[in-house]
Amino acid sequence: MRFTGEPPISTLDAAERAIANYSDFDDVGYGRWACVLKETQSVIGFCGLKYLSDLDVVDVGYRFLPQHWGHGLASEACIASLDFGFRTLRLDQIVAFVMPENAASIRVLEKSGMRLDCEYVYDSIATLRYVKRIQDPAAQSAR
């Protein structure tokens, strides 16, 4: 959580409130999904798209429990989320914000085909803005 700018959720009650108040699916029709490890059926984190109304962009984001880092799960989930955004939601671009010192998350974004766009201050935090845009002419003409 040190790379998110968000305080960690420290109690079950706080987690339940956060889930109950998560309105993205009702508001825009999509949001972050729980990620479940197939072998154990346990929730290991989340990944998905979020509409950032203050910037009028769609952001891809993910958080995984530390014991599941380094296994390619974040990259797999990020790629699936980007695919959903472009194929199903028919978005033209998706962004991601990452702190410059978060090398592991930068690798996930790059492995997912996102490219560094610029340095960006978001929520008073210095970040790097990554972007992926629809560039395949066949995909665009199918729209």
Question: What's the pLDDT tens digit per position in 61-98?
Answer: 998 988 988 888 999 999 999 999 999 999 999 999 99
Sheet holding 115-122, edge to edge: 32-37, 42-52, 57-64, 93-98, 125-133, 115-122
Residue 4 lies in a domain: no
Residue 2 lies in a domain: no
CATH code, domain carrying 82: 3.40.630.30
What 3-state DSSP class applies to 57? Answer: strand
Residue 107 lies in a domain: yes
Please give the residue range of the domain that contains residue 119.
12-141
Residue 6 lies in a domain: no
Residue 7 lies in a domain: no
Residue 113 lies in a domain: yes
Residue 1 lies in a domain: no
Look at the chain and report how many structural domains it folds into: 1
Please write down the HEC assignment for all residues of 94-120.
Answer: EEEEECCCCHHHHHHHHHCCCEEEEEE
- Which residues are CB-contacts of 86 (< 8 A; sequence separation ≥ 6)? 94, 134, 139
Mean pLDDT estimate for the chain: 84
Residue 72 lies in a domain: yes
79 within 8 A of 112, measured Cβ to Cβ:
yes
Q: What is the Cα 20 distance to its own chain's centre?
A: 20
**Residue 1 above 90 pLDDT?**
no
Against a cut of 0.75, is the pTM above it?
A: yes
The confidence band for 4, taking pLDDT boundaries of 50, 70 and 90, is very low
What 3-state DSSP class applies to 133? Answer: strand
